[in-house]
Amino acid sequence: MAEERTTTLKGSPLALIGPELTVGDAAPEFTVAANDLSEVTLASTGGGTRVFLAVPSLDTPVCDAEVRKFNEEATSLGGVKIFTVSCDLPFAQSRWCGAAGVEDVTTVSDYKSGSFGEAWGVMIEPLRIHSRAVFVVNGDNEITYVEYVPEVAEAPDYEAAIAAAKAA
């Protein structure tokens, strides 16, 4: 039997659904919603290097700061596409991006089926929101960097993620 995976929220353990992905794994397929409610899949995110930020909710301070940081760094990453995936409704994501001035990070919503959260191992079972994680995927859809942040209320290692995106 597989060991139960967990994350913590302010020190309290919470169960995670899905596998723990590692460097070298194939990026799992998913279907999420764009801000206009159209479907977004792994294939439709295009080729080239992509960064996927899994976050609990854009309306929390750590998520807000994280997405703003990656938006600031986006231009230094050349053609790297950055996607933030949360279970926030697409309308809320669109409103947040407008209010925050975020234009270089694409927000997509996993609210319907949780397919990203479950396939990428970030779905917090009792809450049906994502834990915090960063994935870098190359043009061959191979994962080249993974960080599952152990405590949901903490930020990821920005420098390591940005360096991995540049290297991919």
Please pick, among 40, 51, 58, 63, the residue that the annotation labels catalytic: 63
Q: CA 110, CA 114: separation in Å to the nearest integer?
A: 5
Tokens 């390591």: give the residue.
160
For this structure, is 63 an active site residue? yes
From its phi and psi, is residue 81 left (phi > 0), alpha (psi between -120 and 50) or beta?
A: beta
Of 156, 105, 125, 121, the C-alpha closest to 28 is 121
Distances (CA, A) of 36 to 32, 39, 58, 109, 137: 11, 9, 17, 10, 24
Residue 55: Cβ-neighbour burial (10 angstroms; 0-12, 13-18, 19+)? buried
Tokens standing for 24?
């070298």
Which residues are CB-neighbours of 123 under 8 A, at least 6 positions away? 16, 17, 18, 114, 117, 129, 130, 131
Residues recognised as catalytic: 63
